[in-house]
Amino acid sequence: MLNRVEGIVLKTQDYGESNKIVTLYSREFGKITAMARGAKKPASRLAAITQPFTYGSFLIQQGRGMGTMQQGEQIESYRHIREDIEATAYASFVVELINRAVEDSTPQPAIFNLLQQALHAIADEYDPEAIALFVEWKMLPVTGIYPTLHECANCGATDGEFSFSFQQIGFLCHRCFAVDPYIVRLTPAQVKLIRTFYTVAIDQVGKLTLKKETKKFIKKIVRTIYEEQTGIRLKSQSFLDQLDRLPEYFPKKENPSTSQEEGE
Ligand SMILES: [Zn+2]
C-alpha cells in the first residue's frame, strides 16, 4: 500500500552504507518510521528531504514492518532553524520531546499542529526558548500528567494567593499551603504566565517578550514535573544548558523595554 503523508522529520539514523531510517511525525498516522534508501548519498533525491525539521509531503510504501520512503516534497524548509545555533538547539529539544512523549502510529492531529506551529514560530524568529517552554507545558497531558492550574488542587478555590506544589502537581491556594511543605511561592504574574503556557494557543505565546529570569523559573517547574513524573530527560537539554552558561558567545535578542509580562 502506498500512502501519502504530511509530516515533519523528528529524527534520522544512519543505516548501513547509504540508507537512513527516518522518524516522522505525520498528520495522518502520528509517529512513523520509514527506510530512506540511498538518502545518505548527497546526490540522492531523498537527501535534502530527510534532514531534521523538514516539513514535507512524503510517499511511503507500507508493507509488513517498516515502510519505505519512495519520495518526498518539501513544504517548508525552516531555513532560520538550520542557520541559527540557538534556534537549532531549541528546535532539537522540541522534536526530541515529542519523539519521546508520543506512542508510535497513534494519530493525534493536535500534536502535529503543535509541532508544526512551534517550528514555524522558531523559524519566524520568535523567542525559541519561550516556544520550547510552551511545548513542554502543552505536552504534559500527552504523557498522562494533567496539572491543576485553574483552581486550588486541594480545595478548589479560584481566589487568593497561589503557590505551586509538585506533590499535588498544581496550584495550592494560601488556605492550603500547609498541605505540602515544599511549595514554591508564586507571584500573581507567575500564576498567570503558567496558565498561559498551559492553555493559550501558540501564536499568542509567541508574542510575549519574557525576561530570562522568568523563563528560567517557569522552566524549572516544568522540568521538575517531567523528571519526577515521567523520567523523560532529553539529550538536547544538556546542549541548551551549555548555551545558557555561555551567554557572551550567543547574545540574546531581548528587549526588556517591550516586556508585557509584568503589566498585564
Ligand atoms: Zn485551597
Assign domain 2-79 to a CATH class: mainly beta
58 CA distance to ligand 1 centroid (A)? 51
What does the alpha-carbon distance between residue 160 and residue 174 come to, in Å, rounded to a whole number? 6
State the distance from the centre of ligand 1 to the C-alpha of 157, rounded, in angstroms: 5
With a pLDDT cut of 70, the percent of the chain lying above it is: 92
CATH topology identical between 2-79 and 83-145+190-258 = no
pLDDT score, position 178: 97
Q: SS3 string of 182-200?
A: CCEECCHHHHHHHHHHHHC
User: What's the CA-to-centroid distance between 152 and ligand 1, angstroms?
Assistant: 5
Per-domain boundaries in the chain: 2-79, 83-145+190-258
**CA of residue 184 to ligand 1 center, whole Å:** 15
Percent of the chain with pLDDT over 90: 78
Q: How far, rounded to the nearest angstrom, does the alpha carbon of residue 150 sit from its chain's CA centroid?
A: 22
The β-bridge relationship of strands 162-165 and 67-76 is unpaired
Q: How far is the CA of 186 from the centre of ligand 1 (A)?
A: 14
Q: Is 90 helix (H, G, I), strand (E, B) or coil?
A: helix
Ligand 1 centroid – CA 180 distance (Å): 11
Q: Report the C-alpha gap between 179 and 172 in whole angstroms.
A: 8
Over residues 216-225, the mean pLDDT reads 94
Using a 10 angstrom Cβ sphere, with 0-12 exposed, 13-18 middle and 19 or more buried, the burial of residue 47 is middle
- CB-based contacts of 237: which residues, under 8 Å, 6+ apart? 93, 223
> Helices 212-229 & 128-139, crossing angle to 10 degrees?
30
C-alpha cell at 13: 539514523
The pLDDT confidence band at residue 64, using thresholds 50, 70 and 90, is confident
Average pLDDT over residues 176-187: 96
Ligand 1: centre distance to CA 131 (Å): 31
Q: Stretch 242-249: mean pLDDT, rounded?
A: 70
The alpha carbon of 221 and the centre of ligand 1 are apart by a number of angstroms equal to 20
5-38 burial, b if ≥16 CB within 10 A, otherwise e? bbbbbbbbeeeeeebbbbbbbbbebbbbbbbbbe
Given this model, what pLDDT does residue 250 score? 53
> Does 257 score more than 50 pLDDT?
no
Residue 176 CA, ligand 1 centroid: distance in Å: 4
State which of 77-86, 155-164, 210-219 shows the largest mean pLDDT: 155-164
Tally the residues of the chain: 264
The pLDDT value recorded for residue 262 is: 43
Q: What is the pLDDT of residue 111?
A: 95
**Number of Cβ atoms within 10 Å of the Cβ of 239:** 16
pLDDT at position 258 is: 42
For ligand 1, the distance from its centroid to the CA atom of residue 175, given in whole angstroms, is: 5
Could you tell me the pLDDT band of residue 233, with boundaries at 50, 70 and 90? confident
**What is the C-alpha separation between 216 and 35, in angstroms, rounded?**
39
Average pLDDT, the chain: 90
Q: Indicate whether 203 pLDDT > 70.
A: yes
Q: Which of the two residues, 205 and 75, has the higher pLDDT score?
A: 75
Distance 151 CA to ligand 1 centre (A): 8
Pick the CATH number of 83-145+190-258 from 1.20.1440.120, 1.10.3720.10, 3.40.50.970, 3.40.190.10: 1.20.1440.120
